Amino acid sequence: MRLLLVEDEPNIARPVKRALEAQGHQVHHAPDLTTARELLMELEPDLMILDVRLPESEDGGFILAKEARSAGYKGPILFMTARDALADRVMGLDEGGDDYVVKPFDLPELLARVRALLRRVSEVKQSRVQYGPLELDLTDRSVRWEGRVVELSPREYALLERLALFPGRVYSPEELLDLIWGDEASDTGVVKVCVHHLRSKLVNSVVRTVPGGYRLGVEP
């Protein structure tokens, strides 16, 4: 799943991002409201985790949630904030939030709340895509080729899922680097290596190199 984490405290953002990525999610971090607005429009995340106090506003998280709901955002919103007053929790839920975690929190509890919210997303999203011999289960993030389970790393799966969900679209290496690795890498060489691994684990034609980048190479 693609997550947007809005948190201005690096000491909180870093471990939360690492823990979520370890569970296979693509996590994009925004340290302020301006960046969060840009990423929200660009990524259409499956879930947002929002701090409330941001550099631009004491109510930055509430403002972003309200804007997102007004713009039609349907994914879950989890507030992660030190503001623990009853009035704050009520405001957060009224502004479009689905859950509310007060700092300091235990990381396992936060991860459990994220899993619970994402289960709702999985229930309403398409759970399976298939193109010829290639089959992806989007719920458990498994891949089969001609019925055989193929083990992929989280990055390999994320890249293949992106191409499979938009099979006619050509992605440049720079786009894939941003969507899959975020700020974890800056060299498109990692994209080339990931594509090589996918081809070696499946077949060479599963990812096709075309002018402008890559696209899914498997036909229905």
Cα-based distances in Å from 39 to 34, 112, 125, 207: 9, 24, 21, 26
> Of 1, 19, 174, 6, which is closest to residue 78 (Cα–Cα)?
6
| pLDDT value of position 119 | 78
| pTM, two decimal places | 0.59
Distance CA 118, CA 24 (A): 13
pLDDT of res. 164: 87
Could you list the pLDDT tens digit for every one of the 220 residues in the chain?
Answer: 889 999 999 999 999 999 998 877 889 999 999 999 999 988 878 899 999 999 999 999 999 999 998 887 878 999 999 998 888 988 888 888 999 999 999 999 999 999 888 877 765 566 788 888 999 988 788 999 999 999 999 899 999 988 887 777 788 999 898 888 877 788 999 999 999 999 999 999 999 999 999 999 987 6
- Report pLDDT for 126: 64
Residue 183: per-residue pLDDT: 74
